[in-house]
Amino acid sequence: MTDPQIALLMLGLFIFTILLGFPIAFTLVAMGVGFGYYAYYDPERMQTIFDNRIFDLLVNQTYSVMANDVLTAVPLFLFMGYVVERANIVDRLFFSLQIAARNLPGSMAVAALATCALFATATGIVGAVVTLMGLLAFPAMLKARYNTSFAAGVICAGGCLGILIPPSIMLIVYAATAGISVVKLYAGAMLPGFMLAGLYMIYVVGRATLNPSLAPKPPESETRDVTRLKVAAMLLTSFFPLAVLILAVLGAILFGLATPSEAAAMGALGGLVLAFAYRALTWQRLKESIYLTARTSAMVCWLFVGSWTFASVFSYLGGHDLIQEFVVGLDMSPVMFLIVAQIIIFLLGWPLEWSEIIIIFVPIFLPMLGHFEIDPLFFGILIALNLQTSFLTPPMAMAAYYLKGVAPPHVQLIEIFKGVMPFLSMVFLAMIVLYTFPEIALWLPDYIYGVR
């Protein structure tokens, strides 16, 4: 076999192995070291078993991850999210938004989406948002006689917004992988993120207007005593503190007042201050937040170590060149290349999570962007939008499984799948709009920074 053929065998064997359920990060390291040992083996000189360049490569890749300034923001943003999650701020936020939107059709669903969007920006972890809102908002909607599938779709779709809306952990990982500015990527993701959240809310209000039985209005007895002053007071103590924290973090990043890592540190400190102000900062919750932050950060960093080692060996064997020559030889237009790439990423989203897709498979497409004259920033926003589908598409819709894990026993998985399908169509609609009008993603970075 030639080296490029061995590279393709390496990729196929990796996909087969992870489908069997082996840990992704350590599978990458094992594949990289195993095939790298073959790639770098020199039979013409005497070598001991550890006298192989693959071990130097593994050490260098590990050091590169540890020294990467961009990745420093990951544990800090994660810590901010976990502290906010465990400080019971979200339940106050959902209740106040529910009261504020009480006159809208589907008011609880709109409040749940708004809470998900705001909380998702604070944590960026789909599982955490869906699980918490599944415990908080989902039972409240069922108690209010909301249709089970409709309510489930709202929670699953809203919980996935953290992948796209800054400060998204996924965007930080993509920026580190693609070697582009996190700041400009955040600016590019703002409008598409709010566009998708807006499409969700328009759908919810529209469905509730056409079919009020899906989302009954709250009884007058529950809202009769609610005054504007009371609503304002509730928002002042729940919505505005968290919103101000998030806007301060994003504003510092977008306007160059702080690096992403510095802004993330500010956000982590702000999360602690909020938790203290709400008298929710206990030693036990602080320990849980630190543990979860360390665990998730370690997962991300080991994925980087494994994927960069894997990608280096794959490229050394000629795998990247072989795939690029094949794709370029198809003589596709830039639009067709984008569509094909997004279809592949959509299909990969069934067995894989976003982290594996970004770190392992996206680098295969990145060298081709120059040939097709595609902006890597625009490509990254499309991927972030596309990856919403990986959590919503049956049979591997992880958001549905997260919700099922905390839903009442009578809620069937098929009902959750049924509920997410309309929101999945909203994601596809948002992608079509973004394909048609790329300025939605590119205007803000151009306006703020002049050039991308």
Instruction: Inform me whether the pLDDT recorded for 451 exceeds 60.
Output: no
The mean pLDDT of 426-433, rounded to a whole number, is 93
Looking at residue 448, what is its pLDDT?
84
pLDDT confidence tier of residue 176, bands split at 50, 70 and 90: confident
Cβ burial, residue 395 (10 Å; 0-12/13-18/19+):
exposed
Whether 84 is in a domain gets the answer yes
Looking at residues 208-232, what average pLDDT do you find?
76
Does residue 323 fall inside a structural domain?
Answer: no
**pLDDT: is 284 or 120 the higher one?**
284
Q: What secondary structure does DSSP assign to 198-260, as a single string?
A: HHHHHHHHHHHHH-GGGSPPPPHHHHTT--HHHHHHHHHHHHHHHHHHHHHHHHHHHTTSS-H
What digits encode the pLDDT tens for the residues 312-345? 888 888 887 777 777 777 778 888 888 888 888 8
Confidence category of residue 191, pLDDT binned at 50, 70, 90: very high
Whether 58 is in a domain gets the answer no
Is the pLDDT at 207 greater than 60, yes or no?
yes
Per-residue pLDDT averaged across 166-194, rounded?
87
The token duo for 76 is 């800090």
pLDDT of residue 48: 64
Question: Residue 149 pLDDT more than 60?
Answer: yes
Contact 25, 305 (CB under 8 A): yes
Give the model's confidence band at 4: pLDDT under 50 very low, under 70 low, under 90 confident, else very high: confident
Nearest to 327 by CA among 310, 344, 312, 314: 344
Please say if the pLDDT value at position 201 is more than 90: yes
Q: What is the pLDDT of residue 433?
A: 94
Decide if pLDDT at 309 tops 60: yes
Higher pLDDT pick, 209 / 38: 209
Q: Which residue has the higher pLDDT, 341 or 88?
A: 341
The confidence score (pLDDT) of residue 123 equals 64
Q: Is residue 81 part of a domain?
A: yes
Percent residues over pLDDT 90 in the chain: 16
Phi, psi torsion values for 271, nearest 5 degrees: -60, -40
pTM flag (> 0.85):
no
Q: pLDDT band at residue 46, thresholds of 50, 70 and 90?
A: low
pLDDT, tens digit (0-9, with 9 covering 90-100), for 9-23: 888 888 788 777 777
Q: Is pLDDT at 222 greater than 60 in this prediction? A: no
Q: Classify residue 175: in a domain, yes or no.
A: yes
Structurally, the chain folds into a number of domains equal to 1
Residue 267: predicted pLDDT? 86
Residue 240 counted as domain residue: yes
In this structure, what DSSP letter does residue 330 have? T
Give the residue numbers spanning the domain of 177: 70-301+383-449
Q: In the numeric block, which tokens belong to residue 14? A: 């990796």
Query: Which band of pLDDT confidence, cut at 50, 70 and 90, is reported for residue 227?
Result: low
Per-residue pLDDT band at 302 (split at 50, 70, 90): confident
Q: How far apart are CA 289 and CA 291, in angstroms?
A: 5
- Report the pLDDT value the prediction gives residue 45, as an integer from 0 to 100: 64
Residue 89 pLDDT exceeds 90 = no
pLDDT grade for 41, boundaries at 50, 70 and 90: confident
Residue 18 belongs to some domain of the structure: no
Per-position DSSP letters for 76-141, written without gaps between them: HHHHHHHHHHHTTHHHHHHHHHHHHTTTSTTHHHHHHHHHHHHHHHHH--HHHHHHHHHHHHHHHH
pLDDT at residue 124, as a whole number: 63
Calpha distance 62→48 (Å, rounded): 23
Residue range 357-371, pLDDT digits in tens: 787 778 888 888 888
Confidence class for position 223, pLDDT limits 50, 70, 90: low
Q: Does 57 score more than 90 pLDDT?
A: no
For the chain, the average pLDDT equals 83
Over range 169-188, report the average pLDDT.
86
